Amino acid sequence: MDVVVTGGAGFIGANLCRLLGAAPGIGRIVALDDLSTGSRSNLPHDGRIELREGSILDRAALDAACTEADAIVHLAARPSVPRSLADPVASHEVNASGTVAVLEAARRAGDVHVIVASVEPALAGRGQASFVVPEKTPGLSMGQKFSKMGIRASHTAEVVLEDCRIPGSCLLGGKDRLDERLARARDGQRSQSQAAMATFEATRPAVGAQALGIARAAYEYALDYAKERKQFGRAIVENQAIAFKLADMKTRIDGARLLVWRAAWMAATRKPYLNGEGSMSKLVAGETAVHVTEEAIQILGGYGYVRDYPVERWHRDSKIYTIFEGTSEIQRLVIARAISGVRVQ
């Protein structure tokens, strides 16, 4: 089966391509994304993975890739699989039920989904495994599409699983590795990392970079407006109240950018995040985007609040960066645990 991975050149997509490449029955993999140098270096080079320019929002590129493939892969997370995986993979099936919300959800219920599911709830986060839910699996459907405050160009909907029978061969990474990991968890042995959490940590600089783009756009727009807007016979940027806001905005953006660059460099060169550097970059960049866009609205005054000007949309878009890929509170938790060596609750 040939597969298209949308967003496949990012860190999370590269890890997914590795897992799919090891799965039985998978042929050629097309990684469809805007390719950066770091993304290219993160993809395995075994001849089966084709790097192709384009994105999920590029309808022509997406359609061209899909006509050559049997399935499209999207990402989802954490329904429930209410049984263990003790049976042999060859004859084993997993019964999955639940509802998950995903960004850029499947355009049709026949697309392939990667589901991170709980296989041993008693082990909490260490009792999870990833499965490929094949196209046309009975019980797989798309639920309601959500109307969101921001990032409205991104399709967000529920993926519904109702008694889906998933073959054991769809377990990513293989049953032997899962059994070993679950056995260590049952014995109370520490794990170096959880695959899903490690993937999130590696992708956080990319998410931080998105937040920085929003912050920069709002700052530059507010700066140009402040230079052109005249009040009381002079440009409003000549007033300290406005100029100091812009100075703080610029300072916070540049500081966040350096954190993102450091984390991205560490990920690209495979250096471990010993102090939660990935979380630092996402935390600061996300909160900077919210702050900068709010200040941009303040600088524009009433114009900033109306939809004729773009800053109100940037503010709505920015808020998600303190929520998805781990909330700001979770980022602080990751950093606190990393620097203290204590499992802070």
pTM of the model: 0.67
Residue 220 sits in the same domain as residue 329: yes
**Cα 87 to the chain's mean position, in Å?**
33
* Whether pLDDT at 107 is above 80: no
Give all strands (DSSP E) within 79-226, no chain letters: 93-103, 112-118, 128-133, 140-145, 156-167
State the pLDDT at residue 45: 59
* Whether pLDDT at 206 is above 50: yes
Q: Which of 75, 105, 130 marks a domain boundary?
A: 75
Q: Burial, 276: exposed, middle or buried (Cβ in 10 Å; 0-12, 13-18, 19+)?
A: buried
Of the spans 77-81, 116-120, 206-210, which averages the highest pLDDT? 206-210
* Whether pLDDT at 103 is above 80: no
Residue 256 sits in the same domain as residue 159: no
- Count structural domains, the chain: 3
The pairing of beta strand 140-145 with beta strand 156-167? antiparallel
- The distance between the two most distant Cα atoms of the chain, rounded to a whole number of Å, is 81
State the pLDDT at residue 305: 96
Residue 201 sits in the same domain as residue 334: yes
- Among candidate residues 120, 277, 287, 325, the one labeled active-site is 325
* Whether pLDDT at 331 is above 80: yes
* Beta bridge mates, 6: 32
Residue 95 has φ and ψ, to the nearest 5°, of -100, 110
Inter-axis angle of helices 195-228 and 311-318, nearest 10: 160
User: Is 325 designated active site?
Assistant: yes
Q: 198: pLDDT confidence band, cut at 50, 70 and 90?
A: low
Lookup: tokens for 37: 């140098």
Across the chain, what does the average pLDDT equal?
78
Q: Which of 162, 191, 220 marks a domain boundary?
A: 191
Range 202-229 average pLDDT: 95
Of the spans 15-24, 182-191, 267-276, 306-315, which averages the highest pLDDT? 306-315
Residue 219 sits in the same domain as residue 289: yes
Residue 24 sits in the same domain as residue 112: no
State the pLDDT at residue 3: 66
Q: Whole domain around residue 128: which residue ranges?
A: 78-191
Q: Which of 57, 47, 1 is nearest to 24 (CA)?
A: 1
Range 312-326 average pLDDT: 95
Range 291-313 average pLDDT: 97
State the pLDDT at residue 202: 76
**Does residue 345 lie in a domain region?**
no
pLDDT higher at 128 or 251: 251
Q: Which of 172, 191, 210 marks a domain boundary?
A: 191
What distances in angstroms separate CA 263 from CA 31, 43, 276, 277, one per listed residue? 23, 18, 9, 6
**Does residue 205 lie in a domain region?**
yes
Q: 118: pLDDT confidence band, cut at 50, 70 and 90?
A: confident
Cα distance between residue 126 and residue 191, in whole Å: 9
Lookup: tokens for 96: 């999955």
Of the spans 37-46, 125-134, 281-290, which averages the highest pLDDT? 281-290
